[in-house]
Amino acid sequence: MRILFFFVLIWAGYESSYLIYLFQMKEYRFDRFISSLKEFGMLKYLYTFDIKRPAITVRNILLVLIVGMMFLATIYAGFVNPTALILVAYIGPFAPIGALLMVGLGVIITSIPVYYYRSSIIKRAKSKMKKSNAVVIGVTGSYGKTSVKEYLYHILSSKYNVAKTDKNMNADVGIALSIVKNLTNTTEYFIAEFGAYKRGEVRTSAQFISVNHAILTPLGNQHLDLYGSHEALIDEETYILTQVPAVGRIYVYDQAPKLPPLLGKKLTYGTNNTADIKATHITTTSQKTTAQVTYKGWTFQITTDLLGVHSVANLLPAIAFALDMGMTVKEVETAIQTIQPIEGKLSTHLGPNGSLVLYDGLTANIDGFIAAIKTMSLFPHTKKLILTQGVIELGEEKRQSYKRVTDVLSTYTHILLTTDKVFRKVCSQPNIMTFNDVSSLLDYALSQTDNDTLILIEGKFSAKIIQQLL
């Protein structure tokens, strides 16, 4: 009986480690964790033999200590009370559920010190913003935010003192940390990326940082399951635009839906002739992209190492803002020529067995997925593999969103390798292959690669998997 008792505890311990990893990936948010449970099923999440190790962070260490204390209490109870020993031994099949309860309790307990830490950071950021004379540009939208922010930062930095939010840190505490770290007395422009998973989160960030100008990137169905509706998503993602004063400028993707009443001057950007700043005559290769840009009285040619038509679209609001702030066309052209792809945003890398990797794993969304598939056609490789675990938190629109991807995929010879079996449910094309786990997917991909292979990594994979591919 004691052997069975300890076997159950070992199993629960393994599951606890895996669950801590999952909570870490979901930013310790129960709403995102529950959304994943609904999407992938409780059996897949809880009854798994996939080995994942949580990152070594202060919160994870606290979680391990809290869960470890619960295990020690269980072991002690088993030694001093035979009934407890028998009970634990016989509920063995439910060990993962017990692990979930313990880890969930640990997440709740650790959220208390995290709350006070976050509050202190936000308080410091709010105080620093009040003393700053920096012009604040807010970048919001469903996708493309990080790219637009980085491009704008690069262009403006060639002439001005500019600071920004780091990487894709776009929630309240991420913005606050970036303000505390990056904003100085000499900062002339501060670029803040605003992101959210549900209604109210952008508003929370806006309480301690006021925007002078704003950029709205395309709106899609990112995190729709958490938002609950398109109306809620649009309302939250466009909130920053309503905070721009009358003297400010608002740059909006020209295919945006109906917007709320705005005080600032609205300007549109895109590849259509009706846009205020537009890109035409776009030429793309596997090495560079060129386009003709027209804005107000300017018409000029840009050349960039960025790949794909969507990259040109992401450059447009940055170009327009820089020109509106007093930069010359020549200064903007020169700055664009030195922009390099962001790692994880269709960046190119040498892959296994002499292959070439297009790494698009920083985030995943349906329109970005489709753009990446089209970008693959620019490369001369005869064998093209797409590796993905799918796009998360799409809710009830997951099937129709995947159908959009497979419809585009059907026009190419690319092979899709995925662990998300919904792709197979919406399309039975022979170039879609599903796998039970990431390890099997990786083994197959590696067996197929040579120096004539192009690999697209679409969406997030663990650091261990990425290390084997890049």
Decide: 458 and 360 in contact? Cβ < 8 Å: yes
Query: pLDDT of 106-162, one tens digit each?
Result: 999 999 999 999 999 999 999 999 999 999 999 999 889 999 999 999 999 999 999
Whole-angstrom Cα distance, residue 359 to residue 451? 17
pLDDT at 84: 57
Give pTM, 2 decimals: 0.90
The per-residue pLDDT for range 21-52, each reduced to its tens digit, is 989 988 999 988 888 887 777 777 777 666 67
Residue 278 has pLDDT above 80, yes or no: yes
Class of domain 132-337: alpha beta
Eight-state DSSP code of residue 143: S
Q: Is the pLDDT of residue 104 over 80?
A: yes
User: Which tokens in the block code for residue 202?
Assistant: 């952008």
Instruction: Read off the pLDDT band of 87 (50, 70, 90).
Output: low
pLDDT band at residue 10 under the 50/70/90 scheme: confident
From the list 420, 465, 464, the residue with the least C-alpha distance to 442 is 465
State the pLDDT at residue 385: 97
pLDDT at 234: 87
Q: Is the pLDDT of residue 93 over 80?
A: no
Model confidence at 220, pLDDT cuts 50, 70, 90, reads: confident
What one-letter code names the amino acid at 303? Answer: T
Which residue's entry shows tokens 């490789």?
Answer: 381
What does the pLDDT look like over 356-392, one tens digit per residue?
999 998 877 899 999 999 999 999 999 999 999 998 8
Q: Using CA atoms, how far apart are residues 56 and 397, in angstroms rounded to an integer?
A: 35
- Strand order across the beta sheet in which 415-418 lies: 347-350, 356-360, 453-458, 383-388, 415-418, 432-434
What residue segments make up the domains of the chain, in order of their start? 2-115, 132-337, 347-469
For domain 347-469, give the CATH number.
Answer: 3.90.190.20
Confidence class for position 417, pLDDT limits 50, 70, 90 = very high
Residue in the structure block whose two tokens are 């794993």: 361
The answer to whether 291 and 279 are in contact (CB under 8 A) is yes
CA distance 195 to 236: 9
3-state SS, 79-93, equals HHCHHHHHHHHHCHH
Structure confidence at residue 319 (pLDDT): 97
Judged by average pLDDT, the poorest of 4-13, 136-145, 243-252, 460-469 is: 4-13
Alpha helix ranges (H) inside 159-266: 172-182, 201-206, 224-227, 230-237, 239-242
pLDDT greater than 70 at residue 316: yes
Report d(CA 434, CA 125) in Å as an integer. 46
CA 417 to chain centre: 20
Contact present, 346 and 360 (Cβ < 8 Å): yes
User: Are 179 and 125 spatial neighbours (Cβ–Cβ below 8 Å)?
Assistant: yes
If we measure between CA atoms, which residue out of 397, 317, 409 comes closest to residue 372? 409
